[in-house]
Structure 1
Amino acid sequence: MFMMFAMTSDSVGEIIKEVKIEFGVNNTQASLMHSLFMVGIAFSGLFLGFLADRFGRKPSLILGLGLFAASCYLFLVGETFEFILGLITLSGLAVGIFKTAALALIGDISTSTKQHTGTMNGAEAFFGVGAIIGPLLVAYLIRSGVHWMWLYVIAGGLCTILIVMALLVKYPEYQKPKTRGSASLHESLKLLKDPYAMGFSIGAFLYVAAESAIYVWMPSYLICNAGTVEDVFACYSNDTNKVLAMYAVSIFFSLRALGRFVGIWMMQRFEWSTVLVLFSFCILVCFVGGLWGGKSVALYLFPLSGIFMSVIYPTFNSKGISCFPKYQHGAVAGVILCFTAAGAAVGPLVMGIVSDMYGGDAKYGFIVATGFAALLFLGLVYNYLKRPTEARLAQVEKSEYNVSGEPA
């Protein structure tokens, strides 16, 4: 499931290049392909995340998958840019529903907060696999003369298979809250005042704003000019660099996926705040170096940042959800997902606006993204030094998982 929707969401950088030509839109307008999808996820996560807690994980999963499949199939009749943006928004709403249910389900099958983090990294690793497949599939479709919209039709077919699987799989027993009001929109909104929910949510916002800069605008940053395929990469000195520029997004996602599988091992053996502060520093170095050295250096450093990004978001998600009892997992997952999607929507949109202000040069947008990466690093330095969640995680470890001792 994570792999399926990553095929569409993380292909947007490749799709934007085609949309700008097909519909004659500028960077800001084209970025709505990404931003409205994320707005849909943000709205759904915040206002509908409680559905998984009130009605159960399985019904919420099936509802979200059904809406996503419908939006994908409707691309077959999409002819205008406005209609496509509507479908993008609907698919985002659907993702918000089924992903919060899936994230809550991870808590149901975990036996400790430590295992929760490992399982979350595993799920997000498959998201990384989908992020590799999607851009490659878009490139293959375009080279074969097939319209890029068929990517969504393929995703709709996979989604239909997932719906059948969800109907057949036996889910672990879920204890619904005794009082109906404890799983409601009102209770979800109250989480906006909780320092643990907001701390991890703000961290997710900053991380995703930086990450989405790579897969949304890196293809535009690395090209030399907007001419034919032959001269798009003409500024690179050798054929190897031209190939790297052409497949930079796929390389980034490949390294991120590899890093997430490694992350499963790392998070079971190393203290999580140490890993995050080290990796966030490396991300910042990649961004600064890519801007300072220009395209020829960014060609290597921007994709390399995928390794260091690999474990940050799954760990934010896991530790943030683990700070709360299981009957709130859907709601808190929705709040974190809301800020995640907001970061993915706001970051690339601001980058597009700033780039257009300076003649369409994506370099200026990446200066904004570097600012997000710097704030993320500073926040994780504070987390490493102060350990604000240590006591809360230990408390939940005992009350929800019947495990004594300090959480890892």
Structure 2
Amino acid sequence: MQSRRILFILFLIYFVFAILLNSVGTVILQVINNYGVTKSAASVLEGFKDLPIAVVSFLVASFLPRIGYKKAMLTGLAIVTCACLAMPLVPGFATAKLLFLCVGVSFALIKVSVYSTLGLVATSRRHHAGIMNTLEGFFMLGVLCAYWVFSWFIDSSDPRSHSWLNVYWQLAALCAVTFVLLSMTTFDERLAALPAERTPAQDFAAMLKLFFKPLVCIFVITAFLYVLIEQSVGTWLPTFNNEILKLPAAMSVQVTSIFAACLALGRLSAGIVLRRLHWYPVMNACLVGMGAVVLLALPLTHDAVANPHVTWASAPVAAFLFPLIGLFMAPIYPGINSVMLSSLPQHQHSAMTGLLVIFSALGGTTGSLITGYIFGAFSGHFAFYLTLVPIAIVLVMLYFFRRAVEGEDGLGGAGPVIIGGSH
């Protein structure tokens, strides 16, 4: 296979979907301003994105190798291209729901295919960990770009302006270009082939049985809680900046890019760090750092005063301090994913990624809905303070995850494997 070309295409696909998936916080802010939607109602956009990811992953992940990873990715790109075109052509809250529904369905196909294809390209566990962190780093670069790209089209002087919808013409073009590049790339998916004698029903049953392995069960719960934290912060930080820190709408989105930049920097550098240090103490230090940022930054957000002439130089300190939580958060998700996938034979990567995507999607929806409800019913301060609870639980879950990976046969006999080898 043309490994470098394939990796470039995978990184580009992930970059595109990072922009679409993580625009939900910005879109929530805009539909509240444009369409008079309540915070509680606007928070369902996260559900329209995440629940289809969970459902589609549950239904197709186990036998996606039979369909073909390349075909699945092409299908996903075609769907989101059409959805992006619909946003400026038929503006409305219903169209926003449809957009994120399409993004969710497509990303289910994309993520399972991309993660599984990494196993075909990687030559060792360390190589797998490196490209996994690089992939997630590119994802966060896409998130970072999303905040700035959307902010360029937002008219802060007129909150009801629909000018922000013009960004979707550019996104549709980017999706179309990625589709063309992918269609021109050759994939060799023979290593991921499922046993020919097995039926799709047996493939599905095998995925369900995988969940009940102790290591896998601990892993998906940890992933669920991590994504709950990340989505709670990422989705509601623009609104927090706008309503609590009193920043203009466009600047609220731009400042949130610091959070994405920290995630990108953390993930791109995590590959280097994790090659030299054991993953478990690194993860623990990151979780402690996350808690420290919450406790240091949030007290500084009280009593903010609106300033129509605010600039980056005069913005509250908390606007720059709280997003630093992303730097500590960054290595956790790709780190545990790589540990888990590199413990499985290649033909199980699709099913395992399916379980990961399902619980990640459920975690994202749960986090956004809970934070949105608490934000509206109580305060943004209280909503973000509550992130300390799942942070503490993840700290405990990582202890059991390490024991299952290193001390117990949590996979029921699936010993060490070489990623990319034949099985």
Normalised-by-shorter TM-score class: 0.7 to 0.9
Q: Offset at 1:191?
A: 2.6
CA distance in 2, matches of 1:39, 1:73: 22
Distance in 2 (alpha carbons) for counterparts of 1:220 and 1:260: 25
Structure 2 Cα separation of the partners of residues 79 and 224 of structure 1:
25
Structure 2 CA distance for aligned equivalents of residues 51 and 93 of structure 1: 16
Which deviates the most, 34-43 or 181-190? 181-190
Q: Which amino acid aligns with 1:289?
A: L
- Determine the C-alpha separation between the residues in 2 that align with 1:284 and 1:49: 35
Are the counterparts in 2 of residues 196 and 389 from structure 1 also a CA contact under 8 Å?
no
Q: Which of 296, 321, 325 pairs up with 1:301?
A: 321
Counterpart-to-counterpart distance in 1, 2:276 and 2:246: 45
| Deviation, structure 1 residue 327 | 0.8
Paired position in structure 2 for 1:280: 287
- The answer to whether residue 212 in structure 2 is matched with residue 193 in structure 1 is yes
Q: Percent identity?
A: 25
1:356 to 365, 373, 376: 376
Q: Is the 8 A contact 1:72 1:87 kept in 2?
A: yes
Q: AA paired with 1:156?
A: A
The alpha-carbon deviation at position 294 of structure 1 amounts to 3.4
- TM-score (normalised: structure 1): 0.87
Aligned equivalent of 1:252: 259
Question: Mapping of 1:213-228 within 5 angstroms?
Answer: 213-224=232-243
Q: Which amino acid counterpart does residue 390 of structure 2 have in structure 1?
A: F
Task: Verify: 1:99 aligned to 2:111, yes or no.
Answer: yes
Q: Determine the structure 2 residue equivalent to 1:367.
A: 385
Match of 1:310 in 2: 330
Q: Aligned partner of 1:259: which letter?
A: G
Give, in angstroms, the shift of residue 99 of structure 1.
Answer: 1.3
Deviation digits for residues 186-242 of structure 1, max 9, x if unmatched? 3223333222222221111111111112221122223356xxxxx9349xxxxxxx9
Aligned residues: 388
Q: 1:171 is matched with which residue? A: 187
CA drift at 1:51: 3.9
Q: What's the CA shift for 1:338?
A: 1.0
Q: Which runs of 5+ in 1 are unaligned?
A: 226-230, 235-241, 404-408
* 1:54 CA displacement: 2.1
Note the alpha carbon deviations across 1:20-72, whole angstroms, 9 max, x for none. 01111111111122221011212122222124322222122212222222222
CA contact (8 A) 2:124 2:418 kept: no
Matches within 5 A, 1:50-129: 50-129=62-141
Q: Which residue of 2 aligns with 1:161?
A: 177
Distance 1:148 1:243, change over 3 A: closer
1:202 matched to 2:221 = yes
CA contact (8 A) 2:265 2:327 kept: yes
Evaluate the alpha carbon distance shift between residue 24 and residue 204 of structure 1 in structure 2; reply closer, same or farther with a 3 A threshold.
Answer: same
- Matched with 2:163 is 147
Structure 2 CA distance for partners of 1:293 and 1:162, relative to 1, 3 Å: same
Deviation at 1:336, TM superposition (A): 0.3
Q: CA RMSD in A?
A: 2.7
Please say if residues 120 and 419 of structure 2, whose CA atoms lie closer than 8 Å, have aligned partners that are also in contact: no
Structure 1 residue 263, shift from structure 2 partner: 1.1
Separation in structure 2 between the aligned mates of residue 353 and residue 153 of structure 1, nearest angstrom: 32
Q: Output the amino acid matched with 2:44.
A: L
Cα deviation, residue 87, structure 1:
2.6
TM-superposed CA distance for 1:92, in Å, is 0.5
Offset, 1:82: 2.3
1:227-266 equivalences under 5 Å are 232-233=246-247, 247-266=254-273
Tell whether 2:47 aligns with 1:35: yes
The letter for the 2-side match of 1:139 is S
Query: Who is 2:9 aligned against?
Result: none
Deviation (angstroms), 1:173: 4.0
Partner AA of 1:63 in structure 2: T
Question: Per the alignment, in what secondary structure is the counterpart of residue 21 of structure 1?
Answer: helix
Conserved? CA contact 1:112–1:397, under 8 Å? no
CA drift of 1:401 comes to 5.7
The 3 A distance-change label for structure 1 pair 148 and 39 is farther
The whole-number CA distance in structure 2 between the counterparts of 1:184 and 1:380 is 29
- The TM-score normalised by the length of structure 2 is 0.84
**More off after superposition, 150-159 vs 319-328:** 150-159
Sort the Cα spacing of 1:67 and 1:377 in 2 relative to 1 into closer, same or farther, 3 A: same
Code of the residue aligned with 1:222 in structure 2: it is: N
Deviation digits for residues 249-291 of structure 1, max 9, x if unmatched?
1111111111111112112222112211111111122123333
Q: Distance in 1 between matches of 2:207 and 2:165?
A: 35
1:130 aligns with 2:142: yes
CA distance in 2, matches of 1:8, 1:402: 34
Matched to 1:155, the amino acid is L
- CA 1:157 to 1:389, structure 2 compared with 1: closer, same or farther past 3 Å? farther
1:218 alignment partner AA: L
Partner of 1:2: 14
8 Å CA contact 1:210, 1:369 repeated in 2? yes
Tell me which residue corresponds to 1:331: 351
Contact 2:263-2:327 within 8 A present in 1 as well: yes
Residue identity in the other structure for 2:333: Y
Q: How far 1:301 sits from its partner (Å)?
A: 3.4
C-alpha distance in structure 1 between counterparts of 2:420 and 2:108, whole Å:
27
Provide the residue aligned with 2:405 in structure 1: 388
User: 1:378 is matched by which residue type in structure 2?
Assistant: V
